[in-house]
Structure 1
Amino acid sequence: MTEPCDFYCDKILSGLLEVPVYFQNELVFAFHHTNPLWEQHVVLLPKRHVASLIDLGEADNELLLELMRAARMIARDLMERFGAARVYTNLGEYQSSKHLHWHIGCGKQLRPY
């Protein structure tokens, strides 16, 4: 069975669309958003397809822990440099791309949600 298509698998993780890399390792990928909502806006995602936070199972505990480590590292960096950070993920109709991802950002809002 093939994995469902999504923007992050098809464009970002495939390398079809180049993005400014913030951090990556064997499990996770983080990049500076190409159409940021805030002055500092990083997107963090697993390198393999997972549809959303609620689709993670017990077998995904290592991946979830690595995502949380990376989110903490990015949020800490933003806190130290800019004094604030927000970290969130969306589900259901709020999730425009059906690939688990976190938005981590701070600063002035640059455009409407």
Structure 2
Amino acid sequence: MTAQATSYSGTDFYCDVAIPDPGALEVVHEDGLVLAYHHTRPFWQLHIVVVPKRHIASFTAATAADEPDLRALLEVVQQVAREVELEHGAAAVLTNLGTYQDSKHLHVHVHSGPQR
């Protein structure tokens, strides 16, 4: 993980850092539409973030035009959550909105285990 990934202070980490340089991350899935990787500053013992590569501001900002990206995102979230649940016995899926959303780009957290 790069120093930029741990010290980023902008508003869209995904467009600015993660998507342009996935090689600096511990990637668990990448295709043309979606990137999933271990969070650079995990809140839980296991913490994976799944993000569409095309900018969508948030879950509530998504429109019908975003449907292909959302379908792809949810397929990867399901796949990652299934793998986490099988390996760790439990998984949670979470997205944040409004002021809870530090990075203003739709992203989904898949996590398991206690908070760090």
On whether the aligned pair clears a TM of 0.5, the verdict is yes
1:89 aligns with 2:99: no
- Root mean square deviation, CA, Å: 1.4
Q: 1:61: Cα distance to partner?
A: 1.2
Looking at structure 2, the residues matched to 16 and 53 of structure 1 have their Cα atoms a distance apart, in angstroms, of 23
What residue in structure 1 maps to residue 105 of structure 2?
Answer: 99
Segments of 5+ residues of structure 2 without an aligned counterpart are 1-10
Aligned length: 106
Looking at structure 2, the residues matched to 17 and 92 of structure 1 have their Cα atoms a distance apart, in angstroms, of 29
- Deviation per CA, 1:41-73, whole angstroms, max 9, x where unpaired? 000000011110111111111111111110100
Looking at structure 1, the residues matched to 54 and 77 of structure 2 have their Cα atoms a distance apart, in angstroms, of 17
What secondary structure sits across from 2:32 in the alignment? coil
Runs of 4+ in 1 over 4 A off after TM superposition: none
What residue in structure 2 maps to residue 21 of structure 1?
Answer: 27
> What amino acid sits opposite 1:36 in the alignment?
P
Q: Percent identity?
A: 43
1:11–1:17 CA contact under 8 A, matched in 2: no
Quick check: 82-91 or 57-66, which moved more?
57-66
Looking at structure 1, the residues matched to 41 and 22 of structure 2 have their Cα atoms a distance apart, in angstroms, of 17
2:26–2:38 CA contact under 8 A, matched in 1: yes
Higher-helix-fraction structure:
2
